[in-house]
Structure 1
Amino acid sequence: MRCLLIDDDVPTVEVLRDIVRWDEYGFSQVIEAHNLMEAKSCFEAGSPDLIICDIEMPRGTGLEMIQWVREQGCDCAFIFFTCHESFDFASTALTYNADSYLIKPLDEYKLDEALHRSLESLKRRRTLGEYSRHGLAWLRNKDLVEKSFWSDVLSSTLSTRKDLIQGEIQRRDLSFTVDQKFILVLVSVTASEIDEHWNASVFHYALSNLGSEILFNRPNPDRVIPYKQDNQIYHAFILDGGTEPLQMKASGERLVRLCKQYFKCTATCYISEEMEISQLAPCKGKLEQMDASNLIFRGIVHFQNDSFQYNATEPFALDTHMYTLLFAQKDKMQIVKRLKLTLERLAAQNILDAATLHSMREDFLQVVYAFLAQNNIQAHQLFSDDIAKRLLQRSDHSVFDFMKWAHLMTEKAIDTLKETLQSEGVVERAKRFIHENYHWDISRDDVAASVFLTPDYLSKTFKTETGMSIIEYLNAHRIEKAKRMLSERLVSIGTIAADTGFDNLSYFSTVFKKLTGESPNAYRAKHKPED
């Protein structure tokens, strides 16, 4: 252990150093300091286990020292000594957990007694602190162990044999038995509802806490298993059996209501019957299937044996003729509005099931692709970005996602057409693509793809606008770049040909002579750069 002696009076420090048998107390190092600055610098080598400090010093008091020591988080033993007995000094010292307060001149017997008392107190504090750390670690580990158990149960990692489950419960030292009954509450939220507003881990934490407070009446993270599947975020709550169904429904409704109020999302709650641990994983699968088939009965509480009754008697067909006319009119607002009204009407008539939503998506997609084809716009280029792909994948999972997808399709299709109708804009964008990529092996198809048009349509528009074909314009631009290089760079003609996008020297020379009337060598001779 280490002891730090602090006093501005050097003889006092020397007496302290010499009269105490430090090794008998377990100290291997005794450090001396004569003011607070020196004392604080001693902490760089490590915190001392004991500080013996004068209270009254000219360059900072002992009370300032103990306050600083405690602020550093150091729980060492602390003994004060001073020339004047003062209740104010003593009471302040006790506030900062000083162990002893001695009056000068130092009495060797009293000092020995103070050392014994201070070190015993330090030993007790450290022992209790160790127990506390072990206890907290055990509690945290217990939560993780139980959470891991329920996660293994729900993911079917554990066997469904009761003897093996009971063995696992005993091995993990959990406080329930294999014969105990439980209730599974599955809370579902569509991921796209929170993607733009929440970090996923923060949302899991928030909903886990809210659900625990409502369903368990206390924080209970070891009985909450969050996970994501397809486009749904789930939180599985495992409750002890014995709760009345009406009470469970009331708790679920409160959770749904507070999710809407605080998280701005629609949560749907599914409640299982009471069952043994071995039945929980299959039950979770059934509740997930319920959720997947649930399009319009969301934001409410459902029990395991509830069924969704749809009135659909025949497949629904979208009015593709009407939407074709709306696209021709480029009326984005009416297209989205009509889709929304159609979905609301189907929901009100209780006929909007998964098959109907999928049918609507396919019909709408047909209208959009026909509109694009009629206007020579390539759909696969227009909708190839990650956002469009992700929305398409989610579009028949929920009404919310369908509308986001349809809105994107409508916006992109009509806005792109408006751009392409401005011929000058299309041609200028095609030229810019050529200027930026002439040194690569690009073709007419590549140029057309950059403006989302078919090659034939762009070629016709480009020729009308410039009097040149796309390839003629590309070659002319390449030769202009080559002429500058020939007059400015002392590199081989083959290098210049490659740098301007020609894949062989012969073709480069042919095109160069055709456009300039002379060979590359002759042009360089006339415009030879100076050495």
Structure 2
Amino acid sequence: MWKVLLVEDEPFVRKKLRKLINWEEAGFSVCGEAGNGREALEQMRVLAPDLVIADIAMPLMNGLELLRSARESGMESKFIMLTCMNEFEYARKALEYGASGYMLKLSMGIAELQEALTKVGREMSASMEQKELVLQKALDRYYSQLWEHIHSREHTFAPVLPESMPSFKHMLLITVFTGRSSLSAEELLRQGIISGEGRLWTGSYTRGGLTTLFFWFPGAASLTEERLGALPVRGLYSKPFAPGRLADRWKEQLRQMAQSWYGEEAGLLECRARSASLDSAWDQGAAAFTPSWSEEREIIAAFERHNADRVKELLTAYWHSMAEQAARFGTIRETAARLDRMFASLAGRGEAVSRLLDPEQAASHSALLSLLLERTEQLLALRTRSDRKLTDHGEINRIIEYCHQHYGNPITLRAMSRMVAMEEHYLSRLFKQKTGESLISYVQRLRLEKARELLAESRHTAAEIGRMTGFPNENYFTRSFRKRYGQAPGQYRRERQQSEEGSRGDG
């Protein structure tokens, strides 16, 4: 409803305006009346009407002076002026000052008033939409800046709310793990789980695996805690608080969400008082965790050997290690996705299969481990069904399996000949006969293929990947990679990342 202030020194004209149409059906409500411009100006400061219908000729302060004073005071209320036949010059000046229109008092009827209200209603709606769009963009920047401020170890001043932000008395805050079970501010308001006085403002910010909903209230605010706790999401809420405490309240929610990741209690819970242990872990950066390539490499090797029990054992130990080091759940989700991509690649089903694992389905540390173990079991089954006999010679196949499991270590013809009890020259000829390439060439190709997978799926540097895949130094790795693929490792990684970002953008 748009609020209307009626300003007219003749009471019968104000009475006529009130009764002429059904204001609520037209989308308006009369919030007050005034008998002159001076009285109207005071009421405008208190009532903040969206529309003022004012007579031009009034005592103490006429309608034209009222319009000019309102604009000089920064008030943005729309104006419709009432005028007599001999006041057209004043009406023209009112339009110059920004009035939306005027009506003749003598001929004013239902049709004329409704037409004027429809016109000014469209103007106010368009103006409101534009203001809301500008404010929403400003608030999105504010949320991003506040997030950076909260996570900064330096003592910086908190960002300031946009100047165009209306005055709000209370706030509510809800933070949940981002996932398929979505939660929207609009739905919470529609169901009456959250309510408040006046025209409220909502917003959301998603980052680091978390989504925070913001509710701004001009008056009182309330929430139904029982219904919040029954929602199919996992997160925290804060009871109404003053907007000036937003930075502290949001920071506390983010701290406790990190702790909640390792718990098992589901639903939306109230964010309680600050914890000293959480303060220490957050402020000292104890939650910083670097994924262990040595552990991941052992897990991948067990997958390559089709050893499901060993994969489960190693993954479980790795997850326990991350919990002990208080790894942040965003990093853990990235680790799960990375391992799944490697498993999918080894299973021979490509990246399309790996996308089926959505870490955001899991809202806890143990749930994500269960999800990854289930996916790994499926991929191992796929790999077993897709495996083919590489050659018709058992000992050559044995060497091939060894190469796939130990490509990061030195592999020589002499060592392989001893392993299968064959003379070196004979093994060399037999291997090429069965595979179409020499053992040295086969191992080199395998190492480069593994290196390319790691460049695409891991965060390790090219030099680290070269060492992991058995190359003695970075220069030799770069030359070999360029010779086979026509570009340096770094260039391949950049083009791969750009291609993936383009695909996500198209989707």
Instruction: Report the TM-score range of the alignment, normalised by the length of the smaller protein.
Output: 0.3 to 0.5
TM-score, with normalisation over the residues of structure 1? 0.36
TM-score, with normalisation over the residues of structure 2? 0.38
